[in-house]
Structure 1
Amino acid sequence: MSRRALGHHFFVVDNTFILHFDRKVYQKFYADMDFESLEIVQSNGSTCHYFRDKQAVYVESYMNRFAVLPDADPADFHLLDFENGWSRSGVNDYVFDEKLPHRFDAYQALSPYYQRVDQTIYFGFTREVINADVASFEVLYGNRVKNVAKDKYHVYFREQVVEEADAATFHFLELFHGRLLPGA
């Protein structure tokens, strides 16, 4: 039995399967993987791993199960920001396993979760906030809440409209030591 170490406790065994800490992993991808050329691009050893072989690029992270990056070319694939899952291959940019509809350079960050490209608002780079009014769109308490926003028509939680909320009057109640402030 041949056993080739990839690093971070990953091993290719007999060019037929992968072990991680002596447990078989990623079995449903074996038919398409090239074990001889498989290598780790980068890994933190526990919650995020990028691999490539001569055919594809793969990622497993705390944000996604093991997946093939769509349209990624192993020859020019590179990580832009490992911690945030940002990578690039050719004309494609990715956040973990999601291929972005735009290049990172096109996005204007409104918060860590909300971005703007031209007249479109996105949540998490890939999920369009449908019918958002770009001119009045604002992230509420972006330094503390980050995933709640509103425009002059709607209140949003992530990319979804909060139907029961009135955009004109919606606000967060201020807390002081766990209690509501007087008059709030």
Structure 2
Amino acid sequence: MTKVVFAMIWFYFIFSYLIGSIMFGFLITKIFYRKDIRVQGSGNVGARNAGRLHGKTAFVLIFLGDALKGVLVILAARYLHFSETIQLVGLALAIMGHIKPITLKFKGGKGISTFIGGIIVFEPLMVPVIILGFSIFYTFIKSFTLAGLGAFLFIPVVLFIINNDWLSCLIALGIIAMLYAAHAENLKGRLKPNE
């Protein structure tokens, strides 16, 4: 690997994190609703909280904006002819930027929208995988959050079947672990047995 390529990869990684740190939930609610979403509802800057507070339009705009971040980092890596491993690391950094954005003092969203946007562009076959996985889990647990997170567990398996690449599979697992960690409090509340 030449010094130029090495420098380009590191520039791409920094770019990915900074793209992830663009918080559409904060920007859209501030511009269109004159509100600071960080002090409304759950305080989360993601699409779900915005949707509860400001309706479907806010949800859709913020979801698409956050998903676009994942799309951009994958497309940028492909334009630069980076390997699939580098692409997935870039996606991981974009998600990290969304969860811990430098733009909002490292207090961001949960990363789901950015992950969905990125992983679907990375491998379009993930669309039916996510839908099928979600449908299976939701049938039993009746929770959008848990069903969505459960569906993501199929992704590394399918990636391995398609590419026969353990490294991509492990990076995908790492990304999913990051998403689970971001949802830790929510998961504890939902999994806690009724008293």
Same fold (TM over 0.5): no
Structure whose residues are more often strand by fraction: 1
Instruction: Compute the TM-score of the two structures, normalised by the length of structure 1.
Output: 0.28
- With CA pairs under 8 Å and 6+ residues apart, which has the higher RCO, 1 or 2? 2
More helix by share: 2
